[in-house]
Structure 1
Amino acid sequence: MPTYLSEEALSALKSELETRKKITRGEIAEDIGAAKELGDISENFEYQEAKERQSLNEARIFEIEAMIHDTVIVEESTGGSVITLGTTFIVTVDGEEKTFSLVGSTEADPMSGRISNESPLGAAFFGRKVGDSVEIDVLSGKIVYTIIKIQ
């Protein structure tokens, strides 16, 4: 499955990958070496902790490499007539205006208005245009969003 990212997010992932490979790996290797010098590694907390950090770091490296390999760059959409990945749009909900950007799941941050295309809300907005209303079921009932502007 592709990973949808902006150019900015891809750059941040590449930077994180480089840091983990070039710096974090070395720091952990030093910690493992220092812990080994303390003696018996079977009951050595420092050694076990360093090995755990090494495992987590390598797992994250693998995850980032897979994301980068499967990345589809999403250009920021401007002035389109329908909501697609990369689109920023304004809706009204309960009399308030809210601004959202539709992004891939890796970049989602609902508290900042960046909603994933894979979320129920993001999926409901995908392909919609100004004037459309989107109804979302929540525990307390339904929330109706009306799209008033696509930027």
Structure 2
Amino acid sequence: MKKNKYQLSAQKVEQLENELKDLQTKGREKIADSLDWLRSLPNDQDDVTFSDVFEDQRYLEKRILELKEILSSYDIVHDNPNSSQVEIGSVVRVGFGQYEEEYTIVSALEADPINKKISDESPVGRALIGKRVGDTVVVSTGIVEKEYRVLEIK
């Protein structure tokens, strides 16, 4: 079976589907309304305003294409992954030095480091994928090296 390009949670799929629907309806309507309004102005209107609206339209259509591409090639990551090794969807408690942190491993599209959701493509996420409780990984950022020990996988 072919593996899809994106690994997403069901919540992220729903969020992307809603964004796509919104852009295709409300977003396009807003652009059309802006163009109608501009066309109603006298002909000596500055072309910069039209240019801005067309730029907004290009951005909107580009985002719609991106969302369609993502939604045409994804696999759902289940909330209850295999707890014997780290994978996308795992909640991992790691120790480094005298400190401990808990991270959720997510796809790059769902990464939110402030909320401890790290991408499987980030240095720490990539190092943790496939590891088991008790394993140690060393992550180098180019400036410092940090050693993480896997304490728990949920």
Name the TM-score, length of structure 2 as normaliser: 0.91
Quick check: 1:141 aligned with 2:144?
A: yes
Asked if the contact 2:93/2:153 (under 8 Å) is kept, the reply is: yes
The 5-angstrom pairing of residues 78-97 of structure 1 reads 78=81, 80-97=83-100
The 5-angstrom pairing of residues 1-151 of structure 1 reads 2-40=5-43, 43-78=46-81, 80-151=83-154
Secondary structure of the corresponding residue to residue 86 of structure 2: coil
Deviation of 1:30 after TM superposition, in Å, equals: 0.6
RMSD: 1.7
Deviation of 1:78 after TM superposition, in Å, equals: 4.8
Of stretches 60-69 and 48-57 in structure 1, the one that deviates more from structure 2 is 48-57
Structure 1 counterpart of 2:88, one-letter code: L
Q: How many residue pairs were aligned? A: 151
Secondary structure of the corresponding residue to residue 17 of structure 1: helix
Deviation of 1:79 after TM superposition, in Å, equals: 6.1
Quick one: distance in 1 between partners of 2:61 and 2:42?
A: 25
Quick one: distance in 2 between partners of 1:11 and 1:41?
A: 45
Sort the Cα spacing of 1:110 and 1:64 in 2 relative to 1 into closer, same or farther, 3 A.
same
Deviation of 1:94 after TM superposition, in Å, equals: 2.7
Secondary structure of the corresponding residue to residue 121 of structure 1: helix
Structure 1 counterpart of 2:150, one-letter code: I
- Where has structure 1 moved over 6 Å in runs of 4 or more? none
Quick one: distance in 2 between partners of 1:12 and 1:78?
A: 21
Of stretches 41-50 and 105-114 in structure 1, the one that deviates more from structure 2 is 41-50
Secondary structure of the corresponding residue to residue 130 of structure 2: coil
Identity rate, percent: 26
Secondary structure of the corresponding residue to residue 23 of structure 1: helix
Secondary structure of the corresponding residue to residue 49 of structure 1: helix
Secondary structure of the corresponding residue to residue 128 of structure 1: coil
**1:53-87 per-position Cα deviation (integer Å, ceiling 9, x unaligned):** 11100000000000000111111135611001111
